[in-house]
């Protein structure tokens, strides 16, 4: 499951990635959201808030291309649209595999 979320606020005042997010990246500075990977409902026994946006791979790529997500991957190295598209797709594929999301 590919999702967009914001950091959570701990009672002690610091922010943290919610525990249902198993991998994260692609911070959008415009709305302070992250792209993340979580287990789909058929692979988990816990609640994910209904306010979390769920994306397809294509929707996630579009989010990264059309928002305030940085394209810098190293000093002086910025990705163009086609490179960013492939970078996001590869990241999603690798993270889904690493996390163990099956569908």
Mean pLDDT by 10 residues, the chain (103 residues): 96 96 95 95 92 96 93 88 96 94 75
- How many domains in the chain? 1
Instruction: Quote the pLDDT of residue 75.
Output: 87
Write the CA distances from 16 to 9, 68, 90, integer angstroms.
7, 20, 25
Query: Do the beta carbons of residue 24 and residue 37 sit within 8 Å?
Result: yes
User: In terms of residue numbers, what domain contains 63?
Assistant: 2-99
């Amino acid at each position: 499951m590919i999702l967009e979320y914001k950091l959570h606020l701990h009672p002690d005042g610091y922010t943290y990635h919610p525990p249902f997010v198993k991998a994260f990246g692609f911070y959008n500075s415009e709305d302070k959201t992250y792209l993340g990977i979580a287990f789909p409902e058929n692979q988990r026994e816990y609640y994910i808030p209904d306010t979390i946006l769920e994306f397809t791979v294509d929707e996630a790529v579009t989010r990264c291309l059309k928002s305030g997500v940085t394209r810098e991957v190293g000093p002086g190295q910025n990705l163009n649209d086609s490179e960013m598209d492939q970078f996001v797709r590869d990241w999603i594929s690798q993270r889904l595999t690493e996390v163990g999301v099956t569908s």
